[in-house]
Structure 1
Amino acid sequence: MAVVEQATEASRMPVLSVRGLTTSFRVGTEWRSVVRNMDLDVAPGETVAIVGESGSGKSVTSLSIMRLLPQLTSRIEGSVKLEGRELLTLDAEQMRQVRGNQISMIFQEPMTSLNPIFPIGKQIAEAITCHRDISNSEAKAEVLRLLDRVRIPNAKNRFDEYPHQFSGGMRQRVMIAMALASRPKLLIADEPTTALDVTIQGQILDLIKTLQDEEGMAVLFITHDMGVVAEVSDRTIVMFRGEAVETGTTDDIFNRGQHPYTRALLSAVPKLGSMGGRERPMRFPVIDIKTGDTLVPEAEAGIPEKGSQPLLEVKNLTTRFDIRSGLLGRRSGAVHAVENVSFTLKPGETLSLVGESGCGKSTTGRSITRLVTPTSGQITVDGYNVGSLDEASLRRMRRSIQMVFQDPFASLDPRMSIGQAVMEPFVEHNLGSKAEARDKAADLLERVGLSADMMPRYPHEFSGGQRQRIAIARSLMLDPKIIVADEAVSALDVSIKAQVCNLLLDLQQSFNLAYLFISHDMAVVERVSHRVAVMYLGEIVEIGPRQAVFDNPQHPYTKKLMAAVPVPDPARRKLKRNLSTDEIKSPIRPVGYQPPARQYREVSEGHLVQV
């Protein structure tokens, strides 16, 4: 009887127990705390999510638990126990035995976590042989078993391949295989799906759920995506500025959340299907994160005038990139990035291009602005025939069409103040004096929610959301009629994403802007679009009014994209989508390949689907 009670007690004991965790970093001569008094427990087979935005202390919490912070500039206080064993008092060698053996971690970006000069099989085998006394042949057999477990097709032939030969989703599977190599008691997943396309994200979430069911692991899941939280976690901890502001079951957090910040996070989450019956795009409600009060209610945005002439016309656009190989660099094939794409865009309208990485969305945007040279087709921008423009005419054309890129830090010069960066297009196009440029830049910074006083600052002094606002202000300096927004909100936290989407809708109404909105986030696309075009392998497979495409999707690929979107509903927590694990097909074709002529069927007015 005593043995049974001891076994029951052991099963109730948390795998991980954290009490009073406080992590500080040395800044000059002072210590500044970035995580304060953190408490959490994770039981066997349980998934606990830590949710919050960038800078809230989520990742620092996980790195503190793993003791991966630099010893000289960081200080960890409190208690971190793994199955009752205190980790903060272990020496370096003892902690090395714990890492990868009893606790494993999956990081956000697998390409920076995998060594590019070693085959993936060797890297996973190393994780096994470090902690277990087995032969090389036994280690290889175990690696192949793990690769099969994480659903990597043809594992035996891929054992000797390198990280760059895998897609993003497959690299993340390799990281999961490595994390599971020694059958850990606790898996820490730090934003494991943030950088992935929605279908790949769905596959990874399914995989983690399946492996947890099979292994009985405890999982600490760190993310800022509330849809992911709802689908994977049993309990949720909401972090804000280094502190846990609310803790409870996931159902309680989502349906009965008390803290203003929790409610603000949930209000900013776009929900697929929430636009049913609405023709116009919708602004997100804005909630005060300190009080929970609604500052700006949800509201409908504008709609383009009927009968207006298109600002942008694209006919049979094809863009291919030659592949050269051999000693003489002969042409051996081509990447068919964009294949026979046609659409129009009117003033005040948002057309969204959606699809997974590699489908040709960004190449379409860059072809329209002539940042890359199209192979064939006709592009007309505000009366300009883009393909026939000389350098001077191309420069004038680009006053009508501007681009906002995904990563504002990469598109802003770190050596230029943001005032100089925003003024630069105006000055370079000789549209007025420097004083006029400064006044216009100050006005646009105010329009995008920043202050003119910030003009002397540099890009590194701003948050990601603020930098994206600066990039938007810069794109407006030439009074363009069209803005190509290339994944402009994909890398942003959920509330910042909502703010930037609202800003884009407000600017559209103020300036009658047309947007080509490039994204893989179907829930955001549903919220901001008038029309939607779905791309697959360089081709548009479905296009039509947003309401028609989302309410009545026809193409199998459109249905697959929608089925993969995480839904912020805890009732779906045990749901597995059983999505195909096939990688997206290659767009590389041999020399002389001619794609077959495509036919389209009209489902309803303006709603076309490839047959």
Structure 2
Amino acid sequence: MSGTEDRTESIQPVLSVSNLTTSFRVGDGWRQVVRNLSFDIKPKETVAIVGESGSGKSVTSLSIMQLLPKNVSRIEGSIRLKGRELVGLDQESMRRVRGNDVSMIFQEPMTSLNPIFPIGKQIAEAILCHRDMSRAEARAEVLRLLEKVRIPNAKGRFDEYPHQFSGGMRQRVMIAMALASRPKLLIADEPTTALDVTIQGQILDLIKLLQEEEGMSVLFITHDMGVVAEVSDRTIVMFRGEMVEQGSTDAIFNRGQHPYTRALLSAVPKLGSMEGRRQPVRFPVIDIATGETVTPEQEMPPAAADRPIVEVRNLTTRFDIRSGLFGRKSGAVHAVENVSFSLRPGETLSLVGESGCGKSTTGRSITRLVQPTSGTIEVDGYNVSTLDAASLRKMRRSIQMVFQDPFASLNPRMTIGSAVMEPFLEHGLGSKADARAKAADLLERVGLSADMMRRYPHEFSGGQRQRIAIARSLMLDPKVIVADEAVSALDVSIKAQVCNLLLDLQQSFNLAYLFISHDMAVVERVSHRVAVMYLGEIVEIGPREAVFGNPQHAYTKKLLSAVPVPDPARRSLTRRVATDELKSPIRPVGYEPPVRHYIQVSEGHLVQAAA
């Protein structure tokens, strides 16, 4: 009899969700955002929920954790964890469940960690709340967890604060905290979306390894199909609050039945898909109303071989570090070190590398948003390094910047019509009527309508806000646009739409793009040339097909090997990405960097020689 009971226990789902419907109060009524969702997660199984923003993925996870505000939300149906019903459970009982049986990793670790407490104390607090341990035992357990999540020098970093860790290391701290109670179920809500490819690779490997060691089940929520293919046993596809398809990951990827599933997969840029193509290629786009592909991929025409519009020679940007009572200079951050490149009209040069490698500082130095230390920058005939305030203002008509977070770069109190018109009026290029007419035309060009000009930024989706930022950057008729991680945080289909928009605008206006990104699959698709940066230096630069097809530098190979590939056959593979952090660019006073030499591999393809 006991053997039968054991077998029954072994096949009981860790989590069983049945007819889950979650609604939010809107005015006097209720709006359903998740409808009739049902699925199970077995012991040691990984289930991924995929879909775009607004599909109900995160609301599903928050419903399971019972973290939605009671006064404006309503959860119906059944959520059973190891056979125990969670819907209707009182707060104290639910707190014990969260601490002991289920844990959650959130997308942005900095908002989940308290900035005024050391990370060791925060993890210890989670242990002391839910496990019967002394403080000494809790400290020993924290060190064990930090070592388990591959944080170097765990003992030395126990008393460090969140801001002293990189993004990838903060995410490791969150995983350590989630594992502190040895949960049966781990919910990972977009845990790698904002991370660089190498850090993302480390986190995915880590979750796989810990799942094997701890015997956890994992609910993985993401819109990255490459991540889904590499981590999940089964996949649930959600569209507008409903599950449209569910099955093994292999079946979903290779034999998906629903039009939205097939469209979602077709919109995913795949590394290596550009083999044999020399020019950037438009992305296939999903019709959000039907879930079907409406725009096929299309190769763009070649850029004209004009003289460079941007010339950067020996650019160096350093930030002084001052310490002591009198604020004496004690060192410097060597953010950009002796960087040289050119950019022609109608061409896209992509800068790639991990966070902290100097990509964004390079873009900001060229636009003089930060002051370069030395070197020469020429933009459209201007010597940027020596311009006075009036000339600099005039030069910026030729070069504009699109930032990663459009919400942060748009004034929340200003209508988007006023925001788009502002550069035109500030530079005195015409009347208010002229500005309004041009803004309306550009909003139409970027896929929005002129009657949206009276709305405010919060009334738009992330993708729409990015389109507004692009329209605003075009108001001064620039010749160069610096796109700093402009599509990194966008969903698959929105990313495809914005990338297509950038390609179309490039063709229409002969724009030159400095495209800063860590998304290697997108870079491969939109670039003419690629420069790989490491610790402030360009270690490899050349035509896109040469850098991706014949990478020479060890760091370039590391970046490419870390990219998740949307192929379920890789489910059991581990990339074994090195877990060390990017080395510090901080140097002492008087430090002189070594002189670098470059080897020409092929025409235009240069790689930094080994020191």
Could you say which TM-score interval applies, normalised by the shorter chain? Answer: over 0.9
- TM superposition shift of 1:287: 3.4
Q: Distance in 1 between matches of 2:289 and 2:476?
A: 37
Distance 2:555 2:507 in 1: 32
State the alpha-carbon separation in 1 of the partners of residues 597 and 539 from structure 2. Answer: 10
Q: State the shift of 1:286 in Å.
A: 2.1
CA distance in 2, matches of 1:463, 1:335: 36
Task: Give the SS at the match of 1:130.
Answer: helix
| Cα pair 2:334 2:587 within 8 Å, conserved | yes
- Give the structure 2 partner of residue 218 of structure 1: 217
Distance (Å, rounded) in 2 between the aligned partners of 1:445 and 1:479? 14
Deviations 1:425-483 (A, max 9, x none): 11111111111111111111111000011111111110000000001011111111100
Equivalent residue letter for 1:68: L
**Matches for 1:145-294 after TM superposition, within 5 Å:** 145-291=144-290, 293-294=292-293
Alignment match, 2:570: 572
Find the partner of 2:596 among 576, 595, 598.
598
1:440-519 aligned within 5 A: 440-519=438-517
- Report the alpha carbon displacement of residue 293 of structure 1 after superposing the two structures with TM: 4.6
Opposite residue 180 of structure 2, the aligned amino acid is A
SS of the residue corresponding to residue 174 of structure 1 reads helix
What is the match of residue 556 of structure 2? 558
How far has the Cα of 1:141 moved from its partner?
Answer: 1.1
Conserved? CA contact 2:269–2:522, under 8 Å: yes
Query: Which amino acid in the other structure matches residue 94 of structure 2?
Result: M
Q: Does 1:304 align with 2:303?
A: yes
Distance 1:133 1:86 in 2: 25
Measure the CA separation in 2 of the matches of 1:602 and 1:428: 46
Q: Secondary structure at the match of 2:58?
A: helix
| Structure 2, unaligned runs of 5 or more | none
Check the 8 A contact 1:260/1:289 in 2, yes or no.
no
Quote the offset at 1:161 in angstroms: 1.2
The answer to whether the 8 Å contact 2:260/2:292 transfers is no
Q: Structure 1 residues 179 and 95, CA, compared in 2 at 3 Å: closer, same or farther?
A: same
Distance 2:31 2:176 in 1: 36
* Residues 275 and 526, structure 1, Cα contact 8 Å, conserved in 2: yes
> What is the CA–CA distance in structure 2 between the aligned matches of 1:445 and 1:129, rounded to whole Å?
55
The Cα offsets for residues 1-29 of structure 1, whole Å up to 9 and x where unpaired, read as x2222111111110000101111111222
**Cross-structure match for 1:345:** 343
CA distance in 1, matches of 2:490, 2:14: 33
Displacement of 1:290 in angstroms is 4.5
Q: Which residue of 2 aligns with 1:110?
A: 109
Q: Are the aligned partners of 2:352 and 2:518 in contact in 1 as well (CA < 8 Å)?
A: yes
CA distance in 2, matches of 1:109, 1:291: 31
Indicate the larger mover: 256-265 or 344-353. 256-265
Superposition pairs for residues 54-73 of structure 1, below 5 Å? 54-73=53-72
Q: Quote the residue 1:365 is aligned against.
A: 363
> Which letter maps to 1:610?
Q
Which letter does structure 2 place at the counterpart of 1:117?
I
- Alignment root-mean-square deviation, CA: 0.9
What SS does structure 1 have at the residue aligned with 2:31? strand
Q: 1:289 to 1:311 in 2, by over 3 A?
A: same
What is the aligned partner in structure 1 of residue 416 from structure 2?
418
**Secondary structure of the equivalent of 1:44?**
coil
The one-character-per-residue Cα deviations of 1:58-100 (angstroms, maximum 9, x if unpaired) are 1111111111111111111110101111111322111111002
| TM-score normalised per structure 1 | 0.99
Partner residue, 2:84: 85
TM-superposition CA deviations, 1:284-309 (whole Å, max 9, x none): 11233444554221100122223x11
Q: Is the 8 A contact 2:48 2:220 kept in 1?
A: yes
3-state SS of 1:322 partner: strand
Secondary structure of 1:455's counterpart equals helix
Structure 1 counterpart SS, 2:130? coil
Quote the Cα distance in structure 1 between the aligned partners of 2:291 and 2:403: 32
Q: How far does the alpha carbon of each residue in 1:562-599 deviate from its partner, in whole angstroms, 9 at most, with x for none? A: 01101001110111001100000000000111100000
Give secondary structure in 2 for the equivalent of 1:231: helix
Give me the whole-angstrom Cα distance separating, in 1, the residues matched to 2:386 and 2:178: 54
Checking the alignment, whether the CA contact within 8 Å between 2:346 and 2:512 is kept in structure 1 is yes
2:136 counterpart SS class:
helix
Report the AA paired with residue 243 of structure 2: A
Alpha-carbon spacing, 1:287–1:33, altered in 2? closer, same or farther (3 Å): closer
1:144 aligns with 2:143: yes
- Asked whether the 8 Å contact 1:600–1:609 carries over to 2, the reply is yes
- The residue type equivalent to 1:376 in the other structure is S
CA-to-partner distance for each residue in 1:29-51, whole Å, 9 max, x for gaps?
A: 21111111111100000000011
Structure-2 separation of matches of 1:267 and 1:454: 31
Give the Cα–Cα distance (whole angstroms) in 2 for the partners of residues 296 and 139 of structure 1: 56
State whether structure 2 residue 113 is matched by structure 1 residue 131. no
Instruction: Specify the alignment match of 2:330 in structure 1.
Output: 332
Letter in 1 for 2:36: N
Cα deviations by residue, 1:314-363 (Å, 9 ceiling, x for unpaired): 00000000011111111111000000000000010000000111100010
Give the match for residue 21 of structure 2: 22
Structure 1, unaligned runs of 5 or more: none
Question: SS at the partner of 1:317?
Answer: strand
* Counterpart secondary structure, 2:93: helix
User: Within 2, Cα distance between the matches of 1:284 and 1:327?
Assistant: 56
Q: Which amino acid aligns with 1:560?
A: K
Letter aligned with residue 14 of structure 2? V
Q: How far, CA to CA, are the matches of 1:182 and 1:128 in structure 2?
A: 6
User: Is the contact made by 2:286 and 2:493 (CA closer than 8 Å) also made in structure 1?
Assistant: no
Residue aligning to 1:398:
396
CA contact (8 A) 1:120 1:161 kept: yes
Partner SS for 2:521 = helix
Question: Following the alignment from structure 2 to structure 1, what is the Cα–Cα distance between the partners of residues 19 and 201?
Answer: 34
Match of 1:547 in 2: 545
- Structure 2 distance, partners of 1:503, 1:599, is 38
Match of 2:74 in 1: 75
The normalised TM-score by structure 2 is 0.99
In 1, distance between residues paired with 2:91 and 2:386?
Answer: 65
1:430 is aligned, of 412, 428, 431, to: 428
SS in 1 for 2:326: coil
Distance apart, 1:264 and its partner CA? 1.8
What secondary structure does 2:100 align onto?
coil
Q: Is the 8 A contact 1:264 1:289 kept in 2?
A: no
Q: 1:436 is aligned with what amino acid?
A: D
Q: Give the letter aligned to residue 222 of structure 2.
A: T
Matching residue of 1:317? 315
Counterpart amino acid of residue 460 in structure 1:
H
Contact kept in structure 2, 1:260 and 1:290, CA below 8 Å? no
CA contact (8 A) 1:51 1:223 kept: yes
Whole-angstrom distance in 2 between the partners of 1:286 and 1:108: 26
For 1:55 and 1:323, locate their aligned partners in 2 and report how far apart those are by CA, in whole Å: 44
